[in-house]
Structure 1
Amino acid sequence: MYAVDLHSHSRFFHAWPGRTTRYDPFGLTLNTFAARLRGLDALAVTNHDYSYSAEVGFPTIPGIEVSTADGHVVVVGPDPPTRTTPGELSAAETVDRAHDRGCAAILAHPYRNSNARDSGADFDAVEINGKNPEHIAQTKDLAKRLGLPLVGGSDAHYLVEVGRAYTRLDIDELTPTAVADAIRDGRVAAMTHFGTLDKVIDRAYTKIHTEKDWLETEESDETAGDRR
């Protein structure tokens, strides 16, 4: 049995989508330090639209968070796509590509900026996201309706976020293939760890995303008005 955070980022921000920055190795080192403190056995590194790996003295699982036309999909396993273009693939196409490459495809934060839960894609699991504890009950109901296992991922961009949600995998060896196989087979359990600091961060994060959603709606309305 291994404890793995299946959703983490090696960068604070994604102002340069789809490519590595000089911060990546430093960010990953910080995250693995936090992972050790929280008793995790490994991290999946799942940056937005590009995969990143480095030798940091701590086990990491290859991955990528694909910005599909329907919402975000986390892909983990031995051979995730190296790079994807935001909005180019549907959720279903992303899942098919993940399976073709021996990876597992996870429906990420299904109730935050996403319609992927209604896409009909053949996901392997549904994610309980560390940034959205307020969505846990909904997410559990969704997984039950879809007949899919639950996994946990922190969605960490900062070291204090690592391990707030993670996954226990029933595997004998910690390899990317074993991780992907366990997710597809349902040999997983989603776990959460929310302390006082985590709850404070979550309230701030929820406020930021609420304002972000409002601004995006305003921009969409203005764009629609320009077209008219």
Structure 2
Amino acid sequence: MSTNDLVRAELHCHTSWSRDCLMRPDRLVQVCIEKGIEVLAITDHNEIGGAFEVASIAPFTVIVGEEIKTREGELIGYFLKRYIPQGLSAEDTAMEIKSQGGIVSVPHPFDSLRNSRLKTEVLERLITKNLVDIIEAFNSRTTKPEDNTKAEIYAASKGIPVVAGSDAHTYPEVGTGTTLLSPFSNADEFLMSARQAVLTEARLSPWPVHLASTWAKIAKKVKML
């Protein structure tokens, strides 16, 4: 299959439903169209309302996802039907994702500057229990390139499919980390496609993007006062 037959997927993206993001769903859809994004996974922090909102207006495929804060670090669930609360164990979170027919992805697993990453010993434990479907081998917000490389090497050693994600919290970040996938119509086909995925547009975002997330948190707190 040539790359012309593949779809360009943005698999880690936030909206204003995340507390550290100000991107409006309607504007995000337009940005994706402008940038040639054909599949978009909305992975808000501990929320899925934004994903359903985007899905209701987007003319392209939208995967309902959630970046969930477990007690031992973050996991992403794709193809979710229901919200999953934060604060569960990593195992319980992964099992809940799977109970919904979803896909378990581990974001930024070796980002040495991100305290929210899943602890390595927990990742090992989940893999042993067959609770990890995908590893995010490239995250545009990972500051050190070698941390992404470590994730890619680790995933290869475990035989786990990899994807890229921009982890976009601002419009310019959208599409900086995308994945080329074979067309799919459900979670099972998505996972099969991920096994032959091509990581593309793998560009690190400049570190000031993290300041934008901090500003978003402040702006929302001020608005609530």
Unmatched 5+ residue regions in structure 1? 17-22, 210-228
1:10-31: CA deviation from partner (whole Å, max 9, x where unpaired) = 1285169xxxxxx7xx612222
Aligned to 2:216: none
Aligned to 1:48: 45
Instruction: Mark the structure with the bigger radius of gyration.
Output: 1
Looking at structure 2, the residues matched to 15 and 165 of structure 1 have their Cα atoms a distance apart, in angstroms, of: 19
Residue 73 of structure 1, aligned match among 64, 72, 75: 75
Aligned to 1:98: 97
Looking at structure 1, the residues matched to 104 and 41 of structure 2 have their Cα atoms a distance apart, in angstroms, of: 13
Does 1:126 find its partner at 2:125?
no
TM-score, with structure 2 as normaliser: 0.73
State the shift of 1:68 in Å. Answer: 0.9
Residue 191 of structure 1, aligned match among 155, 179, 200: 200
**Is 1:49–1:83's contact at 8 Å kept on the other side of the alignment?**
yes
TM-score, with structure 1 as normaliser: 0.72
Task: Quote the sequence identity (%).
Answer: 21
1:65-214 superposed matches below 5 A:
65-77=67-79, 79-85=80-86, 88-110=87-109, 111=111, 112-113=114-115, 114-119=117-122, 120-121=125-126, 122-127=131-136, 128-132=138-142, 134=145, 135-171=147-183, 173-175=184-186, 178-180=189-191, 182-183=193-194, 186-194=195-203, 201-205=205-209
**Is 2:18–2:47's contact at 8 Å kept on the other side of the alignment?**
no
How many positions carry a matched residue from both structures?
A: 190
Q: RMSD value over aligned CA atoms?
A: 2.7
Aligned to 2:33: 36
**Is 1:62–1:176's contact at 8 Å kept on the other side of the alignment?**
no
Looking at structure 2, the residues matched to 182 and 144 of structure 1 have their Cα atoms a distance apart, in angstroms, of: 16
1:146 to 1:167, Cα distance in 2 relative to 1, 3 A: same
Residue 14 of structure 1, aligned match among 14, 19, 40: 19
1:208 to 1:146, Cα distance in 2 relative to 1, 3 A: farther
1:159 to 1:117, Cα distance in 2 relative to 1, 3 A: same
- Aligned letter for 2:118? N
Looking at structure 2, the residues matched to 15 and 156 of structure 1 have their Cα atoms a distance apart, in angstroms, of: 11
State the shift of 1:188 in Å. Answer: 2.4
